[in-house]
Amino acid sequence: MGKNLRIIISGGGTGGHIFPAISIANAIKEMHPDADILFVGAEGRMEMQRVPAAGYPIIGLPVAGFNRKNLLKNISVLIKLFRSQLKARKIIKDFKPHAAVGVGGYASGPTLNMAEKFGIPTLLQEQNSYAGVTNKLLAKKACKICVAYDGMDRFFKKEKIILTGNPVRQNLLEKTLGHDDAVRSFGLDPSKKTILIVGGSLGARTLNNCVMHGLNKIKDSGVQFIWQTGKFYFEEAKACIKQAGELPMVHTTDFISDMNAAYSAADLVVSRAGAGSISEFCLLEKPVILVPSPNVAEDHQTKNALALVNKGAAIYVKDADAENQLLDTAIQTVQDPEKLKELSNHIARLAFRDSAKVIANEVCLLAEKYKKEHEC
């Protein structure tokens, strides 16, 4: 099948899994331009569009997540898992990878499990401060486990762990606009403090409710907002803005395509506590208020948030308390220069600047060793 390194990268489901996966692939290509990289994702999930757009081939598995509320629905999930295992087996046999990488998400389970059964060396990228069930199972046979937080030896064997941080979207470091120009690009006033509220591409109900119910408070605050609602909540948000009257201090959008500009404009960010987002805040030294989603496995977002809060690197507002506390806390914080500086300094200390390259190097070492030993 040729002399090139062949590497599978599997996972996805959310941008928090996909962006790091693509960053790792790009870093591998920088080291080995002739490497063949195949992605394996989940059918119908966002990776099936985002990965080809980044220039890589992808195959989808018919895998789905377990339904924790309605156990009867898991019969179909088990059938899909079985079919995914068979398809993953065929992918491994046909592609003959020298190494396989799991970045989390539904597809990584069947793919990495099958790779391990074929004796292919595997590397896991655990993004959160609390390891997920799938990675804990796969870790038993994994060669290397790249993590973003200290203390992960409570989940994995210490000798397998490499502290690398999480790769982020590479273009975030390409600062194209200064603060004032970035603020103007959203139709706002550079002389006023700006808060960016972002709940991911799909949006966050709690964060949106806080804004919609607090528009009068925002009017009187002297602070301006860039508000990403997510596509599911955009029409409702627009209706609330219309009913509230003139709100020149609020820029409302369903999706921000230029996150560079949004981060440059923001004096303070309000966000969920996904691992990928947190890594971006650390790298960009952004003061942040984290409102962890309660609707994730093992409540890992709360654990991610507390890992920062315990080091003075973020402010934490519980989801259940957000409607009463979040806007007041955000407005008060953004008007306190000393607090913003303190948060920025502390979060900067947690940044990893070459995560994708470090992980890619480990993947390539595994692949080269396997290729040499098996003469393939």
Report how far residue 55's alpha carbon sits from residue 310's, in angstroms, rounded to the nearest whole number.
40
Give phi and psi for 18, each to the nearest 5: -75, -45
**Sign, CA torsion 258/262/263/264:** positive
> d(Cα 300, Cα 284) in Å, to the nearest integer?
22
Q: What distance in Å separates the CA atoms of residue 257 and residue 255, rounded to the nearest whole number? A: 6
**Confidence class of residue 201 from pLDDT cuts 50, 70 and 90?**
low
Q: What are 269-297's pLDDT values in tens digits?
A: 999 998 889 999 999 999 999 999 988 77
Phi, psi for residue 101 in degrees, rounded to 5: -120, 130
Q: Which amino acid makes up residue 28?
A: I
94 by Cβ neighbours in 10 Å (0-12 / 13-18 / 19+) ranks as exposed
Contact 145, 362 (CB under 8 A): no
The span from the CA of 178 to the CA of 216, in Å, is: 30
d(CA 159, CA 169): 29
- Give the Cα separation of 262 and 255 in Å (integer): 11
- Per-residue pLDDT band for 16 (boundaries 50, 70, 90) equals confident
Rounded to an integer, what distance in angstroms lies between the CA atom of residue 272 and that of residue 202?
12
Tens-digit pLDDT profile for residues 87-123: 999 999 999 999 999 998 889 999 999 999 999 999 9
Alpha-helical segments (H) within the chain:
15-31, 47-53, 74-95, 108-117, 133-138, 179-185, 205-212, 215-219, 234-244, 259-265, 275-284, 300-309, 322-334, 337-348, 355-374
Decide if pLDDT at 1 tops 70.
no
Q: For 147-192, write each residue's pLDDT tens digit.
A: 998 899 999 999 999 999 999 876 777 767 899 999 999 999 999 9
